[in-house]
Copies of this chain bind each other. A is one copy, B any other.
Amino acid sequence: MNFDFIQPLLKEDKTKIILLVIDGLGGTPLDWGGLTELETASTPNLDELAAHGLCGLHQPIGAGITPGSGPSHLALFGYDPCKYMVGRGVLSALGIDFDLTSQDVAARGNFCTINEQGEITDRRAGRISTDKNKDLCALLKKVILPDIEVFVKTVKEHRFLLVLRGEGLSGDIPDTDPQNVDLKPFEPKPRSLEGVKTAALVTTFVEQAQRILKDHRPANMVLLRGFSQRPQWPLFDEVFGLKAAAIAAYPMYLGLARLIGMKPFHSNNTIEDELDVLENQWKNFDFFYIHIKSTDSAGEDGDFNRKVRLIEKVDQNIPRIRSLEPNVMIVTGDHSTPAALKSHSWHPVPTILWARHCRPDGVDHFGERACLSGGLGPNFPAVDLMPFALANAFRLDKFGA
């Protein structure tokens, strides 16, 4: 959906929309003939919502594409994920709640191992501990760049965040990480005039870091990738006319929401805590994005039964959400994370869109197979959810006379 197309159609209303994202919701059976996690779970409340609403399966990005959490969420928020791209550096900053300014260039860093010829022998430095990582980041504070503030922040294990802050920086430089062993790290050659200054600074940073780390084998070098700056995107409120709140336990999701101007609310990592926030903020916003992380983690762990139980836990809380009487309620995932695959996957994501004037589609329970015959279709683009939600919330005028 083109923002220029939808903006002239917006009209005001007092209707409220809830987008409940059960991370990694979609699944697959463990064996031929079996059920998926969602199909296995007992979900009487979601089944009722499905029976009264529209069902379907969305494709976050496109046919066969396994999305990362950044693009898949942007798609749910109505932002074309192939147009609005967040760099890895920026995503890393969001993930550790680092507040990027417009003067910053961020990169995702790895501690790695190089041999005496300078060739990479382990891109992850044997996955050093997070504590070790913290020690090394403290050492890297000694790097001095002229007129530039340098931040080196621990993420997890071998991963860190590098942020350079100063005038005239650019994210338009290539990775130093060759993504393979037996090669030397690349020098960051600028891709454009804008990148010249930043490339020189990064080269100096890497040289100093190598000197500082030389006796800290296996973590005796750094690799950098995804240089990027905080994007300047159209704000959710301006695009869709909705004052929006984001409720999540993990910084990455709140940071992503903040990038498009949603007001972030940090919560503990249980749905009950998140719904406390929802109830407290109910009067103050038009749109509520609620993020459930645990289902994705269970999928990533390959723990089918835990994912089933966590879906059931969400189901038990549906009546509490419905008692707020939202006008439109969407329940879906940002992508599939089948326990059978222990990772994000390309499988379309089961979805319910509930509102007063949904046309019945005959789907009477919530599951991947059931959703195939729903009114939203078996493969609809995730970016279509926002216009559907706006229509059902009576927030869109007629197009043309």
Contact = CB atoms under 8 A, between A and B. Distances in A.
Nearest to A33: B360
Contacts of A88: 401
Dominant secondary structure of chain A at its interface with chain B? loop
B64 A390 contact: yes
A368 B376 contact: no
Contacts of A61: 399
A52 B32 contact: yes
B384 A68 contact: no
A176 to B, nearest CB: 17
Contact of A62 (B1, B33, B341): B1
A400 B361 contact: no
Interface string A370-401: 00111111111100101111111000111111
Contacts of A71: 399-400
A347 interface: yes
A369 interface: yes
A357 interface: yes
A390 B1 CA distance: 27
A362 B357 contact: no
Contact of A372 (B63, B348, B358, B362): B362
A359 interface: yes
Copies in the complex: 2
Interface string A1-17: 10001000100000000
Contacts of A70: 400-401
A85 interface: yes
A396 B36 contact: no
B357 A63 contact: no
A398 B64 contact: no
A318 B149 CA distance: 65
Given A28-B359, A357-B340, A369-B362, A66 B376 contact: no
Given A29-B360, A377-B377, A380-B379, A346 B391 contact: yes
A28 B387 contact: no
Interface string A38-72: 00000000000000100011000111111111111
Nearest to A70: B400
A361 B369 contact: yes
A400 B359 contact: no
Nearest to A65: B399
Contact of A36 (B91, B359, B369): B359
A86 interface: yes
A185 interface: no
A81 interface: yes
Contacts of A372: 361-362, 373-375
A299 interface: no
Q: Which of A32, A82, A357 gathers most chain B CB within 10 Å?
A: A357
A365 interface: no
A347 to B, nearest CB: 5
A293 interface: no
A68 B32 contact: no
Contacts of A226: 401
A9 B388 contact: no
Contact of A398 (B27, B67, B375): B67
Given A9-B65, A377-B378, A379-B377, A344 B401 contact: no
18 contacts: A9-B65, A26-B359, A27-B359, A28-B358, A36-B359, A63-B384, A64-B384, A64-B390, A64-B391, A66-B391, A67-B400, A68-B398, A68-B399, A226-B401, A344-B398, A361-B372, A372-B374, A379-B380
Q: Lowest 7 A-B CB distances belong to which pairs?
A: A64-B387, A63-B384, A64-B391, A68-B400, A71-B400, A346-B391, A64-B388
